[in-house]
Amino acid sequence: MKQTDLEPALDRIREYFAAFQRGDSEAYAQQWVYPACLLAGGKWTSLPDPATCRAFNERYRQQAQEQGMIDGRILELNARAEGRDAAWVEGRFSREGAAGRVIAETRMAYLVVRTEEGWRVAVSIVKD
């Protein structure tokens, strides 16, 4: 698979990130394939359906805002194919507070899979 063929997988993560930043839990939930899961802080969380994903995102975003997050940026994003219908997407993201002050940087990995609806996130891993 050529790198250009992976652009839709990268776009999926860009939209996932944008939906999170906007606080749009409905759009955020549309970025996933179900059941999905994520690993953060050594704990696996199952996301069996969009309703569970929306609720998780709302709690997670609220916690980030309580820590002072008002914005964020994608600092780095790249993908590598895992066959024809899957890709690992790795990225580095910032959480920013007032005046663009960086509160935290996080490294993430996503298993993104091709479905009938297009590329979707199946697994999300917070690396640090």
Question: What is the Cα–Cα distance from 93 to 76, expressed in whole angstroms?
Answer: 7
Evaluate whether 86 touches 80 at the Cβ level (below 8 Å): no
- Write out pLDDT tens, residues 75-112: 999 999 999 999 999 999 999 998 889 999 999 999 99
Query: In the predicted model, what is the mean pLDDT of residues 23-33?
Result: 96
Q: What are 38-56's pLDDT values in tens digits?
A: 998 899 999 999 999 999 9
CATH code, 3-126:
3.10.450.50
Q: To the nearest whole percent, how much of the chain has pLDDT over 70? A: 98
pTM over 0.75: yes
Boundaries of every domain in the chain: 3-126
CA distance 115 to 106: 27
Q: What is the average pLDDT value for the chain, to the nearest integer?
A: 94
Q: For residues 30 and 117, what is the distance between their CA atoms, to the nearest angstrom?
A: 10
